[in-house]
Chains A and B, each alone.
Chain A
Amino acid sequence: MSALTDDTLPVTPRAMRDEMIVFAAMALLLALVPFTGIYPFFVMQALCFALLACAFNLLIGYGGLLSFGHAMFLGTAGYVTAHALKVWALPPELGIVIGTAAATLLGLVTGYISIRRQGIYFSMITLALSQLLYFIYLQAPFTHGEDGIQGIPQGHLFGFLDLSKPTVLYYVVLAGFLGGFLVIYRTINSPFGEVLKSIRENEQRAISLGYKTDQYKLLAFIISGTLAGFAGSLKVFVAQNASLTDVHWTMSGEIVLMTLVGGLGTIFGPVVGAFVIIAMQQYLASYGQWVTVIQGVIFVACVLTFRRGLIGEIAHFLRRSL
């Protein structure tokens, strides 16, 4: 079997209690952010990417499927939400629902095409599909091509939460992130998650046991795409724009990078990875030209020296699943 699983699977049976404690600690820390003077927009952005990376991780870490096109969900949901808010003037909650639903639909279609392909074919076909979508968005009038959709109104969530107030927005984004995270966590630790793992391990055998593996993989793909889309919809409120960069393949690469840095197949790794990478982009911005080089070095270093990622290494050291 693939060495990916060798490295990433927990050495001891999952200790759900540990994980819940860590989760509570994480939620608490994040809830305190507005009182610390840390710049909230940075954290909000990181939260959106963290959710995105978690959604991606569901597919690779637990389904063994490396999607190199996850940016398409982020971007699609972003565009749809942005359009709904700006042009149709819908309230935020509807904008989010529509954007996320668009990602679900996209997941269904692209999943149907890609899921029956194995391993690296799957990566390549997702990459190609997202690139196809990129070119479509580049030319479609409603996305405004290179200029993107700008100046999106944030509005009032449920009519009373004023999202243009940073603190309100922050807690809304945080709630969205935690909700999405819990959905993923539950999925991993559900009967469905168990089947998913066995499919990753030995698909032929799973078939011979009577599992229609394509259906399971498709469902995993759709869940992952939906949550990635949800992250994209949330991000619209933070960035107040929707642009092509979110659909470009380099974004898909960044998602992989975040997950890898944090730890593929770990629960909390993608979150940590997303924060690290976003922080790097923000704070290394003054190093200007070297940012891509530094990113490249991190990729290489991760793959060569700590393949388990930050959280993965810690978990391995503690012999716990995190």
Chain B
Amino acid sequence: MQALYAQLLVGLINGSFYALLSLGLAVIFGMLNIINFAHGALYMMGAFTAYFLLSLGGLGYWWALIIAPIVVGIFGMILERTMLQWLAGLDHLYGLLLTFGIALIVQGVFQNYFGSSGLPYAIPDYPQIGDWRGLQGGINLGFMFLPIYRGWVVIFSLVVCFATWFLIEKTQLGAYLRAATENPTLVRAFGINVPRMITLTYGLGVGLAALAGVLSAPINQVRPLMGADLIIVVFAVVVIGGMGSIMGSIITGFALGVIEGLTKYFYPEASNTVVFVLMVLVLLVKPTGLTGRAA
């Protein structure tokens, strides 16, 4: 029974990565109507940026948490301005293909320069207060050993997810964004600089990916392909949650982490497939995903 609690908790932690990544995807899909296949590559860039900041600039984890999303976000905005922008109004398909191409390029270039096995990145060991060495070490919860870093990831992601949700669903900016998805021409004719807004939104979504990348750098190997396989799972999360639905992808992200955790405990062989099975089931019952708006 205790082991089960531990698995649930661990699942929740994992879920926070899914949530952050699918959140970014949902923002980009919901607002730009683009299936951002480059999301995994940008997530990877977030982790690499953290690595560079440390190894070249001596700037540690906490700096990376702020700087990496901005740097990668700017990179994303450049992508949007130079390429994605031209796809406005075209079929979804083209956005998907373009970002797929971008992902190949980015991953290929990183692989060429940094190999495929990756680079080390440690859990931050500062600030040091009393016995605490930054986020290193762990707490014995009785039923499990909880690395402090994992606890931090959950809390931090929850905060970020909620803030993003609020921004998009509860502010006027969000209304502009949603309207612009449907009919950018008209929204522009109301006096809103839609292109700029879209660029910023893409930057936001990409920044979220990068943030997830920084968060995962101390846990997962910083590798050029670290996002490539993850991305498919995250797609599934977004679809289950209802494409473009912010809250849907957050909740599904966390829930999926937990379900996957349980599968790992009861029938580990299926833990990679459970998400897809789940997705098929959900779509059979509810075509637009759990919280998707009607098509």
Contact = CB atoms under 8 A, between A and B. Distances in A.
In the complex, is A directly touching B at CB under 8 Å?
yes
A70 interface: no
Q: Which of A118, A260, A293 has the most CB of B within 10 A?
A: A293
B280 A290 contact: no
A132 B107 contact: no
Contacts of B117: none
A131 B232 contact: yes
A113 B243 contact: no
B96 interface: yes
Contacts of A304: 83, 86, 98
Contacts of A296: 100-106, 108
Given A120-B92, A293-B109, A113 B280 contact: yes
Contact of B98 (A117, A253, A299): A299
A131 B272 CA distance: 10
Contacts of B107: 292
A201 B35 CA distance: 22
Nearest to A128: B276
A129 B278 CA distance: 11
B147 interface: no
Nearest to B96: A123
A128 B279 CA distance: 8
Given A3-B89, A121-B239, A304-B86, A131 B101 contact: no
A249 interface: yes
A86 B33 CA distance: 47
A9 to B, nearest CB: 13
A287 to B, nearest CB: 11
A307 interface: yes
B59 interface: no
Contacts of A307: 90, 94
Contacts of A106: none
Contacts of A123: 35, 92-93, 96
A119 B288 CA distance: 11
Nearest to B239: A124
A299 B107 CA distance: 14
A232 to B, nearest CB: 21
Contacts of B112: 289-290, 293
A131 B234 CA distance: 13
A132 B90 contact: no
A91 to B, nearest CB: 35
Interface string B164-189: 00000000000000000000000000
- Is chain B's interface secondary structure helix, strand, loop, or mixed overall? helix
A24 interface: no
A116 interface: yes
A103 interface: no
B104 A295 contact: yes
A299 B101 contact: yes
B105 A125 contact: no
B90 A293 contact: no
Interface in A166-197: none
Interface in B75-133: 83, 86-87, 89-94, 96-98, 100-109, 111-112
Contact of B280 (A129, A256, A293, A297): A129
A271 to B, nearest CB: 19
Contacts of B195: none
Contacts of B272: 135
B205 to A, nearest CB: 16
Contacts of A129: 276, 280
A102 interface: no
Contacts of B28: none
B101 A303 contact: yes
A117 B97 contact: no
Contacts of A121: 239, 243, 283, 287-289
Nearest to B93: A66
A253 to B, nearest CB: 6
A129 B277 CA distance: 8
A298 interface: yes
A299 B239 contact: no
Interface in A1-59: 2-4
A303 B295 contact: no
Contact of A2 (B91, B108, B235): B91
B236 interface: yes
Contacts of A4: 90-91, 93-94
B139 interface: no
A137 to B, nearest CB: 11
B284 interface: yes
A129 B284 CA distance: 13
A136 B284 contact: no
A215 interface: no
Nearest to A60: B93
Interface string A119-147: 11101110111011001100100000000
10 contacts: A2-B91, A113-B283, A120-B35, A121-B239, A125-B280, A128-B276, A291-B108, A299-B102, A302-B97, A304-B86
Given A66-B93, A68-B96, 4 more contacts: A120-B96, A289-B111, A297-B105, A307-B90
**Nearest 4 CB-CB pairs, A to B?**
A299-B101, A296-B104, A296-B105, A293-B108
